[in-house]
Structure 1
Amino acid sequence: MKYSAYIMIFLVCAAFLIMPVSAGVKYTSGAPDMDVKISGTNEFEPGSDVALTVIVSNTGEVGTKIIQSDVVTRDDIPSTARLVSIDLLENGAPVEVKTDAQMLGSIYSGTTVPATFSITIDRSAEPGTYDLLANLKYKYLYYAEQYGTDAMTYTYKDVDEFVPLKIKIKENMQLEISNVKTDSMNVGVEGYIKMDVTNAGAETGYDTVLRLKKTEGSAIVPTDASAFVGEFAPGETAHVTFKASVSNEGEAKTYPVTVYATYKDKNGKEKISDLETVGVGVGGKVKFEITSEAGSLRPGQKGELVITYKNIGDTTAYNAQARISAVKPFSSNDDTAYLGNIAPGESATGVYEISVSADATEKDYGIDTEIRYRDTLDNSQISDSMKAKVTVQYTGSLGDIFTSPIALTVIVFAILIVGYLVYQRKIKNND
């Protein structure tokens, strides 16, 4: 029994002696192999805003891999890029990079990481190929030194490199607007917008049509919004006229409108230019006021009502015709008056025949009146309604006595009484 215990102890010790020691791993060489490429198209038009996505890849490989029992396994490997950052530089290209450098973290061998930059292509950029520069910064494990069986020292190497990224700026048509003028652009009416449009781009347009578009929030509404130009070469200027109306809710101020071109390129492909916004001045609406004194009529009278209208607006009213709306106690068989053309600041007078009912109450009245006229483009327009003051009252004249119902009643009764008294006297005399 005693010998058996000794044998067991011996076997356990022997097992520990022959058990293999855990092996470690190290690499003799290796480094990241970094590259940057544009994802998607690299062709852009002048004036465009672009979300440019680049792909950062690591294709680095390690060298000889050594596995030994006395080696401590490294916490890092040489082919991994650490603390990677990328910045996009304009490098003299006609672009503006609006995004700062971006941190991408660690990029392991065989993996990729995207980064997106916001850039704007200059409107005046010349067509051609340009190089942007991607500035990559990172570090990697350059050397690892082992001390004894349980200590390691790591040495990292910093890398700062530049990778060219080619972009192509395409030909296109760029519009420049100048000499914007208006004719009869007033609130509530239709008028003309005239302008010079220059092809400031590098591409010739064929079958070119210049177009006017309503801008959100603007009171100007295009009604004849296109002008055919045909072949439109770089540097050429077209003098165009558009027709537009101004809503009644508009004001006398400058409103934006949008101008653009549709055209075909040299290959027959249909294209659209960038949108250009310009300001267009709008004048006040045609507006009238009554400047004449209040008319005066008696109950039961038929007479003339004279109303003088003044154009206090900013544009001429053509072939103006005024109208009154006669309601009780008034009536009229002649409720319109031709005024002719009324320029801003000018006045015109309308004369109407109206009758006042005999039972009309003595007081001041307001008769509705309005003016229908033609604008510069011969469109029919109607002014806002106005009130013409009319006073109905007795003046105490002899005419009032014979037109007043009360006075007539008194006269009739007086005549009847006088007649009765005369009749009674004759009867007495006969007796």
Structure 2
Amino acid sequence: MKVINIKRIVTASILMMVLMALPVHADEMTTVNLELPEYFNFDDNYYTVYGGPDVTATLIGDNEFSRGDEVTLNVNLMNKGVVTGFESDDEADDNSDLEQKIQQTEMGYEAQRTTAIGIVAMLVSEDPNVRVKSGPQEAGTLASGEQTESPVAFNIEVSKNAPAGEYPLSLQLYYGYQENVQIDGDNETDLGITNMEVGLWYAVGQQMQDLTVVVEEEADFEVVNVTGELEAGSEGLLRVVYKNTGEEAVKDATVRISADDPFSTTDDQSFLGSIAPGETAEAVFRLKVDETAVSKVYAINSEIKYEDTDGHSQISDTVKIQTETLPAGSSGSGMGQYIGILVVVVILAVAFVGVRKFMANKEGNNGKEE
């Protein structure tokens, strides 16, 4: 009867220790050197085999995003590992039939060296503008030529202040793989090797691959100046200067405000036109302030609708306008009206006095003539 006793020398604790302690520095597989236990000897090891797993990653879908996006990156893994060579550690001519059979059996096991076992993937970003929110992800076991049935998913967040450009991400891969094989047996029969023992020694491989995400060029806006005198109980003009602080020019830009209490308006839009990066444009709004408005600084929300360089219609993030309301009459408009009325009265009075003098002189002259 054929009996096979397989000894597997790999532990989860060793793998976990490696995952937490060792960095990855190259896209080619590197091996964590672990000492063999004393009872695992290779006195009868017939082959030294070279090669191993080669796990490559491909980003699925678009890698271009906008500022402030929170997205999921889907990564496909494929094992392209091959046995690159082997050498015999024993002379075949000197081997018995049993040793030759063991040698053939060992070669069959050595072919499993290219399988990546229990793959763990970690995505790392060194730039604070792109933050990886997902921890390590398990990707299962891949034999040579196999790929993941479903992609490995990582959630990332792009900062609202991220400059446009490329951002590298490091995908770090860890897995176990078969490092070496030891086979022994009592005898070779027609049924095979009796009491065959197979010792499998596993090591930990590690790889790194760079992935790239792109933050797209786009327009961005901020308010750089606000002027206007808005009094409680009256209507006035609010002038707002917007600056394009982004990397992309816009055209046909129109700004719209949301006038909440204490403001009201029937004129909530203003045309800005084309604005290149770094340029400004002024918007003018006519606002009425409620007579019960408290004198303080208010924030008015505004949004800019524009056409980008690709001809697509876009709407900006909310841009706040900070403006202050004044108490009724504090702008001097009431005093101006009073002064205007006073001036008219003075003019009329002077004119009346002049007419009276003119009439008096005329009557006096008429009397002398008589």
Task: State if a TM-score over 0.5 links the two structures.
Answer: yes
C-alpha displacement of 1:173: 1.8
Q: Is the 8 A contact 2:299 2:321 kept in 1?
A: yes
Matched, 1:103 2:136: yes
Q: Decide whether aligned partners of structure 1 residues 83 and 101 sit closer, same or farther in structure 2, where only a CA change above 3 A counts.
A: farther
TM alignment of 1:408-423, pairs within 5 A: none
TM alignment of 1:24-63, pairs within 5 A: 31-45=52-66, 47-60=67-80
Q: Decide whether aligned partners of structure 1 residues 29 and 240 sit closer, same or farther in structure 2, where only a CA change above 3 A counts.
A: same
Matched, 1:212 2:257: yes
Instruction: Please list every run of 5 or more consecutive structure 2 residues that lacks an aligned counterpart in the other structure.
Output: 9-46, 86-100, 185-195, 340-370
Q: What are the Cα deviations for residues 254-274 of structure 1, in whole angstroms up to 9, with x where unaligned?
A: 222223322223443322233
Q: Is the 8 A contact 1:24 1:70 kept in 2?
A: no
User: What is the alpha-carbon distance in structure 1 between the residues aligned to residue 292 and residue 200 of structure 2?
Assistant: 79
User: What is the alpha-carbon distance in structure 1 between the residues aligned to residue 239 and residue 229 of structure 2?
Assistant: 8
Q: 2:156 aligns with which of 115, 118, 136?
A: 118
Q: Which residue of 2 aligns with 1:265?
A: 308
Q: What are the Cα deviations for residues 135-176 of structure 1, in whole angstroms up to 9, with x where unaligned?
A: 3131321414336545635231331413232x3443322212
User: What is the alpha-carbon distance in structure 2 between the residues aligned to residue 277 and residue 43 of structure 1?
Assistant: 28
Q: Is the 8 A contact 1:220 1:255 kept in 2?
A: no
Identical positions, percent = 21
Q: Which residue of 2 aligns with 1:290?
A: none
Structure with the higher fraction of residues in strand conformation: 1
Amino acid at match of 2:279: E
Q: What are the Cα deviations for residues 357-407 of structure 1, in whole angstroms up to 9, with x where unaligned?
A: xxxxxxxxxxxxxxxxxxxxxxxxxxxxxxxxxxxxxxxxxxxxxxxxxxx
Q: Which residue of 1 aligns with 2:168?
A: 132
Amino acid at match of 1:180: V
Q: Decide whether aligned partners of structure 1 residues 265 and 106 sit closer, same or farther in structure 2, where only a CA change above 3 A counts.
A: closer
TM alignment of 1:235-250, pairs within 5 A: 235-246=278-289, 250=293
Larger Rg: 1
Q: Decide whether aligned partners of structure 1 residues 57 and 221 sit closer, same or farther in structure 2, where only a CA change above 3 A counts.
A: farther
Q: Decide whether aligned partners of structure 1 residues 80 and 189 sit closer, same or farther in structure 2, where only a CA change above 3 A counts.
A: farther
User: What is the alpha-carbon distance in structure 2 between the residues aligned to residue 238 and residue 136 of structure 1?
Assistant: 48
Q: 2:199 aligns with which of 152, 156, 162?
A: 152
Q: Which residue of 2 aligns with 1:171?
A: 217
User: What is the alpha-carbon distance in structure 1 between the residues aligned to residue 211 and residue 309 of structure 2?
Assistant: 31
Q: Decide whether aligned partners of structure 1 residues 200 and 270 sit closer, same or farther in structure 2, where only a CA change above 3 A counts.
A: same
Q: Decide whether aligned partners of structure 1 residues 78 and 266 sit closer, same or farther in structure 2, where only a CA change above 3 A counts.
A: closer
Structure 2 SS opposite 1:84: strand
Equivalent pairs, count:
265
Q: What are the Cα deviations for residues 322-363 of structure 1, in whole angstroms up to 9, with x where unaligned?
A: xxxxxxxxxxxxxxxxxx9689xxxxxxxxxxxxxxxxxxxx
User: What is the alpha-carbon distance in structure 2 between the residues aligned to residue 43 and residue 248 of structure 1?
Assistant: 50
Q: Is the 8 A contact 1:24 1:73 kept in 2?
A: no
Matched, 1:86 2:122: yes
The answer to which of 247-256 and 259-268 deviates more is 247-256
Matched, 1:200 2:200: no
Q: 2:325 aligns with which of 272, 275, 282?
A: 282
Matched, 1:229 2:267: no
Structure with the higher fraction of residues in helix conformation: 2
Q: 1:253 aligns with which of 269, 293, 296?
A: 296
User: What is the alpha-carbon distance in structure 2 between the residues aligned to residue 147 and residue 247 of structure 1?
Assistant: 92
Q: Is the 8 A contact 1:316 1:342 kept in 2?
A: no
Structure 1 SS opposite 2:239: strand
Q: Decide whether aligned partners of structure 1 residues 220 and 83 sit closer, same or farther in structure 2, where only a CA change above 3 A counts.
A: farther
User: What is the alpha-carbon distance in structure 2 between the residues aligned to residue 178 and residue 212 of structure 1?
Assistant: 16
Which structure is richer in relative contact order (CA contacts within 8 A, separation 6 or more)?
2
Q: Which residue of 1 aligns with 2:236?
A: 191
Structure 2 SS opposite 1:154: strand
Q: Is the 8 A contact 1:146 1:153 kept in 2?
A: yes
User: What is the alpha-carbon distance in structure 2 between the residues aligned to residue 205 and residue 31 of structure 1?
Assistant: 53
Q: Which residue of 1 aligns with 2:187?
A: none
Q: Decide whether aligned partners of structure 1 residues 152 and 123 sit closer, same or farther in structure 2, where only a CA change above 3 A counts.
A: same
Q: Is the 8 A contact 1:54 1:114 kept in 2?
A: yes
C-alpha displacement of 1:242: 1.5
User: What is the alpha-carbon distance in structure 2 between the residues aligned to residue 163 and residue 81 of structure 1?
Assistant: 22
User: What is the alpha-carbon distance in structure 2 between the residues aligned to residue 124 and residue 85 of structure 1?
Assistant: 26
User: What is the alpha-carbon distance in structure 1 between the residues aligned to residue 81 and residue 288 of structure 2?
Assistant: 70
Q: Is the 8 A contact 1:82 1:107 kept in 2?
A: yes
Q: Which residue of 2 aligns with 1:15?
A: none
Amino acid at match of 2:136: M
C-alpha displacement of 1:131: 4.3
Structure 2 SS opposite 1:98: strand
Instruction: Please list every run of 5 or more consecutive structure 1 residues that lacks an aligned counterpart in the other structure.
Output: 1-18, 287-312, 320-339, 344-431
